[in-house]
Homo-oligomer: A and B are copies of this chain.
Amino acid sequence: METIQSNGYNIYFEDSLTQLVKFIEQGKYSRSFVLTDENTSVHCLPLLQQYLGEDGNYDLIEINAGEESKNIDFCVGVWKMLIDFGADRKALMINLGGGVITDLGGFVASTYKRGIDFVQIPTTLLSQVDASVGGKTGVDLDSIKNIIGTFTQPKAVFMAAEFFKTLPDRQILSGLAEMLKHGLICDAAYWDKLKTSDLSLPSLELVHRSVEIKNEVVTEDPHEHGIRKALNFGHTIGHAVETYSMLHDSDPLTHGEAIAVGMVCEAWLSNKKAGLSDAELAEIVEVFGKLYPKHKIADDSYPALFTLMQKDKKNQGNKINCTLLTRIGQFSIDNICTEDELCDSLRYYTTL
């Protein structure tokens, strides 16, 4: 599979960890720092060590796993460890993990001494097809996702299917939602291919096409002024559902599960407001219905969900801006939706 060229950096698919070793040698870094969480330390670090060696070629910084770690307190912890290790401006940070590690690690690196180099090794399907491409870094504050962050490109991204072979099914489904989104917004043929593939463990070829699509969008619009908003399809409602679930459910939705809910709701809005046909809506509902368990959205949660949508950083003032589909494979940005319309779409989802 071809290396994908993004905004000034490469995304490697073939022999990617060999490429990482080359990259480090050529970069003449003063020191490497590998950021992991307690899961990737166990499941992913051993593979990395086969390439980097174990004998003091790098320092390890480990944080707790999970979205709860994605906050400023953990950034302070990592910054302090970098200080204690004596990391200078020529240090390299290697983020080995899912989206929490790549987002937080990217933010820490982009602000430590006003910015040191970092590379991403995304270890979940979701982070491979989403968080690792596009140069967004960030952490949560007050339960608002990614509200603090920077636009900073990594120096390289290294993809390896080995990492997600042992992922739990729900984690696979989480990444798959973003892949389905890429088909829906930009590539009907890819959507058709996904529909007919064995999706219990997506191939690296499918990942490659998703990364290509996302990369095309973000390199054209790195700071999200225009077409990058395409990627928000399903996310206006999905992010709110995700945050609400994190605050209220004992076993919260994954990102992709929440986005899947959001995509069904926003497909309904697309049908009402943007020209998506009844047949296409039915097809989308069917595909998601087969893959994802039904999520219960209580009527009395609508006001809280709407408040969360208002706080989403992509919205200006009180207007809720949605990216919708005009048909499968084609998006339309900046569709202003009212509170009533958004609540109706949630109601539609609950009737399915």
Contacts and interface: CB of A to CB of B under 8 A. Distances in A.
Contacts of A110: 150
B76 A141 contact: yes
Residue from A107, A147, A151 having most chain B Cβ neighbours under 10 A: A147
**Copy number of this protein in the oligomer?**
2
Nearest to A146: B114
A112 B150 contact: no
Nearest to A316: B88
A168 interface: no
Interface stretch (A57-65, A79-87, A210-218, A231-239): A79-87
A307 to B, nearest CB: 11
A114 B138 contact: yes
A61 to B, nearest CB: 15
A329 interface: no
B111 A317 contact: no
A344 to B, nearest CB: 25
Contacts of A88: 313, 315-317
Contacts of A198: none
A83 B147 contact: yes
A72 interface: yes
B115 A317 contact: no
B30 A112 contact: no
Interface in A116-167: 136-138, 141-142, 144, 146-151
Nearest to A314: B89
A43 interface: no
A90 B319 CA distance: 13
Nearest to A71: B76
Contacts of A146: 114
A310 B115 CA distance: 18
A223 B115 CA distance: 10
Interface of A: 30, 72, 75-76, 79-80, 83, 86, 88-90, 107, 110-115, 136-138, 141-142, 144, 146-151, 223, 310-311, 313-317
| Nearest 5 interchain pairs by C-beta | A113-B313, A88-B316, A114-B149, A111-B148, A114-B151
